[in-house]
Protein backbone atom coordinates (compact mmCIF):
# COMPACT_ATOMS: atom_id res chain seq x y z
CA UNK A 1 0.00 0.00 0.00
CA UNK A 2 2.84 2.37 0.81
CA UNK A 3 4.38 1.66 -2.58
CA UNK A 4 1.18 2.68 -4.38
CA UNK A 5 0.90 5.88 -2.37
CA UNK A 6 4.54 6.70 -3.07
CA UNK A 7 3.93 6.20 -6.81
CA UNK A 8 1.00 8.62 -6.77
CA UNK A 9 2.89 11.23 -4.75
CA UNK A 10 5.99 10.83 -6.93
CA UNK A 11 4.09 11.53 -10.13
CA UNK A 12 2.27 14.45 -8.52
CA UNK A 13 5.60 15.89 -7.38
CA UNK A 14 7.09 15.51 -10.85
CA UNK A 15 4.00 17.22 -12.25
CA UNK A 16 4.42 20.08 -9.77
CA UNK A 17 8.07 20.52 -10.78
CA UNK A 18 7.18 20.56 -14.47
CA UNK A 19 4.40 23.03 -13.74
CA UNK A 20 6.73 25.32 -11.80
CA UNK A 21 9.57 25.38 -14.30
CA UNK A 22 8.24 24.45 -17.74
CA UNK A 23 4.44 24.72 -18.02
CA UNK A 24 3.17 27.27 -15.51
CA UNK A 25 -0.28 27.42 -17.10
CA UNK A 26 -1.06 23.76 -16.33
CA UNK A 27 -1.71 22.53 -12.79
CA UNK A 28 0.93 20.18 -11.43
CA UNK A 29 -1.49 17.43 -10.36
CA UNK A 30 -2.95 17.31 -13.88
CA UNK A 31 0.52 16.94 -15.40
CA UNK A 32 1.34 14.28 -12.81
CA UNK A 33 -1.86 12.39 -13.62
CA UNK A 34 -1.07 12.41 -17.34
CA UNK A 35 2.45 11.19 -16.63
CA UNK A 36 1.09 8.43 -14.37
CA UNK A 37 -1.35 7.31 -17.07
CA UNK A 38 1.46 7.29 -19.66
CA UNK A 39 3.64 5.28 -17.27
CA UNK A 40 0.85 2.73 -16.74
CA UNK A 41 0.28 2.46 -20.50
CA UNK A 42 3.99 1.81 -21.03
CA UNK A 43 3.95 -0.84 -18.29
CA UNK A 44 0.69 -2.27 -19.75
CA UNK A 45 -1.06 -2.53 -16.42
CA UNK A 46 -1.55 -1.38 -12.88
CA UNK A 47 0.28 -3.11 -10.06
CA UNK A 48 -1.65 -4.40 -7.05
CA UNK A 49 -0.38 -1.76 -4.60
CA UNK A 50 -1.41 1.14 -6.83
CA UNK A 51 -4.79 -0.47 -7.50
CA UNK A 52 -5.41 -0.85 -3.77
CA UNK A 53 -4.63 2.82 -3.08
CA UNK A 54 -6.76 3.95 -6.04
CA UNK A 55 -9.69 1.83 -4.82
CA UNK A 56 -9.31 3.36 -1.36
CA UNK A 57 -9.33 6.88 -2.77
CA UNK A 58 -12.31 6.23 -5.03
CA UNK A 59 -14.44 5.16 -2.05
CA UNK A 60 -14.22 8.71 -0.69
CA UNK A 61 -14.48 10.57 -4.00
CA UNK A 62 -17.92 11.91 -3.07
CA UNK A 63 -16.38 14.02 -0.31
CA UNK A 64 -14.73 16.16 -2.97
CA UNK A 65 -18.16 17.52 -3.94
CA UNK A 66 -18.82 18.95 -0.48
CA UNK A 67 -16.70 22.13 -0.97
CA UNK A 68 -18.36 22.73 -4.35
CA UNK A 69 -21.81 22.42 -2.79
CA UNK A 70 -20.84 24.84 -0.03
CA UNK A 71 -19.61 27.29 -2.67
CA UNK A 72 -22.91 27.06 -4.53
CA UNK A 73 -24.85 27.81 -1.35
CA UNK A 74 -22.46 30.63 -0.44
CA UNK A 75 -22.87 32.35 -3.81
CA UNK A 76 -26.58 31.60 -4.27
CA UNK A 77 -27.60 35.30 -4.53
CA UNK A 78 -25.06 35.90 -7.32
CA UNK A 79 -26.16 32.71 -9.07
CA UNK A 80 -29.81 33.80 -8.93
CA UNK A 81 -28.94 37.25 -10.27
CA UNK A 82 -27.06 35.75 -13.23
CA UNK A 83 -29.23 32.67 -13.80
CA UNK A 84 -30.10 33.51 -17.41
CA UNK A 85 -26.47 34.03 -18.40
CA UNK A 86 -25.38 30.87 -16.59
CA UNK A 87 -28.11 28.77 -18.23
CA UNK A 88 -27.25 30.24 -21.62
CA UNK A 89 -23.58 29.39 -21.15
CA UNK A 90 -24.39 25.86 -19.99
CA UNK A 91 -26.78 25.16 -22.86
CA UNK A 92 -24.43 26.73 -25.40
CA UNK A 93 -21.44 24.74 -24.17
CA UNK A 94 -23.41 21.48 -24.24
CA UNK A 95 -24.57 22.12 -27.81
CA UNK A 96 -21.03 23.06 -28.93
CA UNK A 97 -19.56 20.01 -27.22
CA UNK A 98 -22.03 17.65 -28.86
CA UNK A 99 -21.54 19.28 -32.26
CA UNK A 100 -17.74 19.22 -32.09
CA UNK A 101 -17.77 15.61 -30.85
CA UNK A 102 -20.02 14.62 -33.75
CA UNK A 103 -17.67 16.39 -36.17
CA UNK A 104 -14.63 14.59 -34.79
CA UNK A 105 -16.41 11.22 -34.95
CA UNK A 106 -17.45 11.90 -38.54
CA UNK A 107 -13.89 12.86 -39.53
CA UNK A 108 -12.35 9.87 -37.78
CA UNK A 109 -14.89 7.45 -39.21
CA UNK A 110 -14.15 8.70 -42.75
CA UNK A 111 -10.44 8.14 -42.18
CA UNK A 112 -10.97 4.60 -40.90
CA UNK A 113 -13.18 3.75 -43.91
CA UNK A 114 -10.57 5.07 -46.35
CA UNK A 115 -7.82 2.90 -44.87
How confident is the model over 12-27, as pLDDT tens digits? 999 999 999 998 888 8
What span, in angstroms and rounded, lies between the C-alpha atoms of 22 and 36? 18
Q: Going by C-beta distance under 8 Å and a sequence separation of 6 or more, which residues neighbour residue 31?
A: 14, 15, 16, 18, 19, 23
Chain segment 27-69, per-residue pLDDT in tens: 888 999 999 999 989 988 888 888 888 888 888 888 878 888 8
Evaluate whether 49 touches 1 at the Cβ level (below 8 Å).
yes
**The pLDDT of residue 6 is above 80:** yes
The per-residue pLDDT of the chain, averaged, comes to 88
Q: Identify the band that residue 114 occupies on the pLDDT scale cut at 50, 70 and 90.
A: low
Q: pTM score, two decimals? A: 0.57
Residue spans per domain, the chain = 1-59, 63-115
Amino acid sequence: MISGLVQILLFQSIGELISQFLLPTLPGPVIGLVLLVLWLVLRKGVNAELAMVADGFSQYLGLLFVPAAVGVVLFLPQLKANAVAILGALIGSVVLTIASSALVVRLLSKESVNE
